[in-house]
Structure 1
Amino acid sequence: MNTDYKEIPLVFNVYKPVGPTSFDVVFHFKKNLGYKFGKIGHFGTLDPFAEGVLLIGVQGAQKLNEYVHELLPKRYRAVGVFGGKTKTGDFMSEVEEKKDIELEFQNMPMKDLEEKLSKHFLGEYWQSPHSFSASKFEGKRLYELAVQGRMIQKEKVKREILDFKILRFEYPELEFVVTVSSGTYVRTLFEEISQMLGGLGALKILEREAIGDNTSIKAIKEKDWPKRGTEFDLEKWGTPLDQVLCLNKVRLTPEQAARYLQGHRYPLTELEIVMQPNQADVSTLDIMWIYNTDWYFCGLARVRDGEIQAVFNLKEAIALFI
């Protein structure tokens, strides 16, 4: 069946440049898309000094923000500078304290340094959100509180460093690529790298290269962003939500779909399940995409005690069966 891109949840892989906030980019799309998509939102904030992949959801996709944001790993390229600490962890603020890393590490071969850092940081990683971050405390962003003079140190939470590679080491600069679980702050990671090596440091450059399979190479650059009065090619630039997050699929018969959309739960043993080879790239196995017999996308279900339970359903799907 033909896909009407004006009627399905879509995600735009947008390249955010240095300077604007994530909200600025979302607002640009909201004003200039030219379609009545209703609400619009993004999947994971990028700081103004950072650039790279910013996923924007429309037509219901934004409702699954927590799933896309939490489940897909993120890859960053960063350039850090050893020798000084700033309040923000980057050079948007002044260096407030100076301390070089130890001399032995300044002269360490790049391969040896990569091995040392990988051994220490790869795998389970406990981290506190940076005081100048979008993490919330008492309903407010930490950076908002920090600007007011309240520097909040939240408790450490478990994250995961999936991969770490050094691209260039020319002291005092270290350029590296790191793949992390959601919620990991690369500024904080580099500060902890600097401390481990006996000194201080801050980020000079931060680029989010990928969220899952959504890479910066394929992202919509600013010159191709929607412009008012010009039709934006949804099929070219938009990705259906169920292709952004690779999950196992459940196909329902018309009778099953009608009852499912009314809240009925079905044991997995009664359903047609299509396993996806890339499911392992997602950090959970307990959610699945739901389709009807014609592979019309209906929504998302969570698996509980061997049964599927509706989490998100398209209003179009409800109208189709009820």
Structure 2
Amino acid sequence: MDGLLNTNKPKGITSYDVIRFIKKNFHFKGKIGHSGTLDPAATGVLLVCLGKATKLSSLLMAQEKEYEATLKLGIRTDTLDEKGKILSRIDKISITEEATKKVLFSFIGEIKQVPPLVSALKYQGRRMYEIAREGKDVPRKARRIIIKEIKIKEIKIPFISFRVVCSKGTYVRALCRDIGEQLGCGAFQSNLIRKRIGPFLLKDALTLERLKERGLSSSLIPISEVFNLIKRVTSKN
């Protein structure tokens, strides 16, 4: 069985838990993998490749991504999200809406971003989140990313909600951190929804319950259709 599943990962489970769900409920024993990890606290589009479609993983991961995020100003955490240990806290935040907008829009374009320590990136053959669990730190090089678009949805201090369109390799947690640092008060990511990976949209994504109802074969996007969808969106850009 070959093809792509556009799934809607729920909050509170890992990306690999989605793969475990598919293996268990459909007794799938072939090749399987996901393209682009979502943190347990995040929800939204998670593409799962089955069979020969696993060869498309790099192509899918290279696609432009769109997120809806909310950050909370005044608190820094070690994981850059709400699950982490609080490192610092500022209770009184005096920031104008104009200053906030100016800082957010300053991140549009090609920028360099230092990835979070708590991430699936590898250092000397080990996942960095494994090293972080031991209370250790590792040197992390800033990586080139592109923020194509930022649209502010709501500013209600200490919360800022925004939409971001970005290149592969972008950590929205790190973007929230950097916005907080530019505003001089720190910040962490309090919510994240992945709305899109390339042409694959959240509105078309299947919840795990819906996937179970429909069945695996009727939910798969054929490999030929995956190529056609990517070609279509690439030609538009």
State whether TM-score is above 0.5.
yes
Corresponding residue for residue 14 of structure 1: 7
Change in 2 beyond 3 A, CA 1:191/1:143: same
Q: Does 1:25 align with 2:8?
A: no
Quote the Cα distance in structure 2 between the aligned partners of 1:162 and 1:55: 22
TM-score, scaled relative to structure 2: 0.91
Q: Does 1:114 align with 2:101?
A: yes
Corresponding residue for residue 295 of structure 1: none
Return the structure number with greater helix share.
2
Quote the Cα distance in structure 1 between the aligned partners of 2:4 and 2:19: 12
- What stretches of structure 1 move > 6 A for 4+ residues in a row? none
TM-fit CA distance, 1:116 = 4.3
Quote the Cα distance in structure 1 between the aligned partners of 2:184 and 2:127: 30
Query: Would you say the 8 A contact 2:65–2:194 is kept in 1?
Result: yes
TM-fit CA distance, 1:64 = 2.1
Corresponding residue for residue 234 of structure 2: 279
Q: Does 1:238 align with 2:220?
A: yes
Secondary structure, in 3 states, of the residue corresponding to 1:78? strand
Q: Does 1:222 align with 2:214?
A: no
Quote the Cα distance in structure 2 between the aligned partners of 1:29 and 1:115: 44
Change in 2 beyond 3 A, CA 1:149/1:191: same
Q: Percent identity?
A: 32
The equivalences for 1:35-74 within 5 A come to: 38-70=30-62, 72-74=63-65
Structure 1: unaligned runs, 5 residues or longer: 1-5, 249-275, 283-322
- Structure number, greater radius of gyration: 1
Deviation sequence 1:37-81 (CA, Å, 0-9, x none): x111000111111111110000211122112112x1111111110
Corresponding residue for residue 188 of structure 1: 174
**Looking at both structures, which has the greater relative contact order when contacts are Cα pairs under 8 Å and sequence separation is at least 6?**
2
Quote the Cα distance in structure 2 between the aligned partners of 1:171 and 1:80: 10
Equivalent pairs, count: 237
Quote the Cα distance in structure 2 between the aligned partners of 1:96 and 1:43: 32
Change in 2 beyond 3 A, CA 1:189/1:124: same
Query: Would you say the 8 A contact 2:103–2:183 is kept in 1?
Result: no
TM-fit CA distance, 1:181 = 0.5
The equivalences for 1:174-185 within 5 A come to: 174-185=160-171
Secondary structure, in 3 states, of the residue corresponding to 1:97? strand
Change in 2 beyond 3 A, CA 1:28/1:150: same
TM-score, scaled relative to structure 1: 0.68
Secondary structure, in 3 states, of the residue corresponding to 2:149? strand
Indicate the RMSD between aligned Cα atoms, in angstroms.
2.2
TM-fit CA distance, 1:123 = 1.1
Corresponding residue for residue 141 of structure 1: 127
Query: Would you say the 8 A contact 1:128–1:153 is kept in 2?
Result: no
